[in-house]
């Protein structure tokens, strides 16, 4: 009677090698180190080691890991599609599924009413308008400007000389003594001839009038023109009620002529050096630096000429 011999595969159930074992065996057969595979594939060496040891918990998300397995298999000469499919069957990692947030319909009772929305919009517009008005300097209060000019001191007349002995006050006033004149003898009684040998007094001569000083307001009426060399914001207002006469931005080359006879107007600007001021065609020095703010600058011709001295 013959003895039955079972096939070798039925006696020894040998499991198929895992993806990690197949990749490690193929790598060692080719004589590669993990560092060589990491350098050629640009895959971190720790991930290659986790794949070979079947440590799936140390690997990144499934999408990235499948790409690493394909690249590893291609580097050691294994069919990448077959190795990738086997890895998907062996791994417990699952693809990331984005969570959806359930959206509930908005309750109309929670929405603000149209009146609340309109009031909120009006409040925002009012705040923006108030900020713009405040930045424009409408509510700015400034002290009154200093006097633009100071009256020239009047020269006092020289004191009248005291009358000589026996000379009437009228003669002494009308006939001042001049250096080099002969002394006048004392006059006798009224109507009596002068004493013998006495010098005859000179004929009274009226003193020449002194030259008149130029009037302080000589520049009154000369046209004042302001010209901008770049975009400049200006404000022209009167000194009494602070009422705005002109406010806005002058474009480069644009001019503003100060109304004639308005010596009470003042200027406020944030770029004094960008304005060219002329009085009667005469260009005056700059009112300040290129970015200097000047305020309460009198625009009367006399004050501007005095400022330029």
Does domain 16-90 match CATH 1.10.260.40? yes
Residue span(s) of the chain under CATH 1.10.260.40 come to 16-90
For Cα atoms 218, 224, 227, give the angle at the middle one, nearest 5 degrees. 150
| CA–CA distance, 305 with 148 (Å, rounded to integer) | 10
The pLDDT averaged over each successive group of 10 residues in the chain (309 residues) is 50 74 92 92 92 89 91 93 92 71 68 85 92 71 49 51 49 44 46 50 52 46 90 91 90 92 89 90 88 89 85
Burial of residue 175, with CB atoms counted within 10 A of its CB: 0-12 exposed, 13-18 middle, 19 or more buried = buried
At 216, list the tokens: 């302080």
Report strand pairing: 265-269 vs 255-257: unpaired
* CA distance readout (Å), 180 to 167, 177, 184, 202: 19, 9, 12, 12
Q: State the pLDDT at residue 183.
A: 46
Burial of residue 66, with CB atoms counted within 10 A of its CB: 0-12 exposed, 13-18 middle, 19 or more buried = buried
At 275, list the tokens: 């304005």
Q: State the pLDDT at residue 174.
A: 46
The SS3 assignment for 254 reads coil
At 5, list the tokens: 């011999």
Q: State the pLDDT at residue 185.
A: 45
Cβ 264 vs Cβ 240: under 8 Å: yes
Q: Does the pTM of the predicted model rise above 0.75? A: no
- Backbone φ and ψ for 88, nearest 5 degrees, come out as -60, -35
* CA distance readout (Å), 156 to 160, 162, 170, 285: 12, 18, 21, 35
Segment 68-117, tens digit of pLDDT = 999 999 999 999 999 999 999 988 877 765 666 766 666 666 777 788 88
H/E run at residue 120: helix 114-135
Q: State the pLDDT at residue 288.
A: 87
| CA–CA distance, 59 with 36 (Å, rounded to integer) | 20
For Cα atoms 94, 98, 99, give the angle at the middle one, nearest 5 degrees. 115
Q: State the pLDDT at residue 2.
A: 52
At 77, list the tokens: 């000469």
| CA–CA distance, 137 with 125 (Å, rounded to integer) | 19
The DSSP output letter for 175 is S
For Cα atoms 11, 16, 17, give the angle at the middle one, nearest 5 degrees. 135
At 81, list the tokens: 């599609």
Burial of residue 23, with CB atoms counted within 10 A of its CB: 0-12 exposed, 13-18 middle, 19 or more buried = buried
């Amino acid at each position: 009677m013959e003895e039955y011999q079972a096939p070798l595969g039925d006696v020894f159930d040998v499991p198929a090698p895992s993806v990690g074992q197949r990749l490690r065996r193929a790598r060692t057969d080719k004589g590669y180190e993990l560092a060589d595979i990491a350098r050629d594939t640009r895959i971190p060496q720790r991930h290659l080691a986790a794949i070979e040891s079947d440590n799936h918990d140390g690997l990144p998300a499934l999408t990235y890991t499948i790409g690493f397995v394909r690249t590893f298999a291609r580097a050691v000469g294994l069919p990448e599609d077959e190795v990738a499919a086997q890895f998907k069957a062996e791994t417990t990692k699952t693809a990331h599924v984005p969570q959806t947030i359930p959206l509930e319909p908005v309750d109309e009772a929670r929405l603000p009413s149209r009146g609340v929305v309109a009031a909120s919009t009006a409040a925002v517009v009012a705040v923006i308008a108030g900020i713009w008005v405040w930045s424009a300097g409408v509510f700015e209060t400034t002290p009154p400007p200093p006097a633009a000019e100071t009256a020239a001191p009047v020269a006092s007349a020289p004191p009248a000389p005291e009358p000589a002995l026996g000379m009437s006050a009228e003669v002494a006033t009308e006939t001042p003594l001049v250096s080099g004149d002969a002394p006048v003898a004392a006059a006798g009684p009224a109507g009596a001839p002068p004493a013998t040998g006495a010098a005859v007094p000179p004929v009274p001569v009226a003193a020449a009038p002194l030259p008149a000083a130029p009037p302080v307001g000589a520049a009154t009426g000369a046209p004042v023109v302001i010209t901008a060399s770049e975009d400049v914001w200006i404000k022209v207002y009167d000194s009494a009620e602070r009422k705005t006469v002109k406010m806005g931005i002058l474009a480069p080359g644009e001019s503003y002529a100060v109304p004639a006879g308005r010596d009470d107007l003042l200027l406020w600007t944030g770029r004094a050096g960008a304005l060219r001021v002329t009085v009667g065609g005469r260009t005056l020095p700059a009112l300040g630096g290129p970015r200097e703010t000047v305020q309460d600058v009198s625009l009367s011709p006399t004050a501007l000429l005095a400022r330029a001295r």
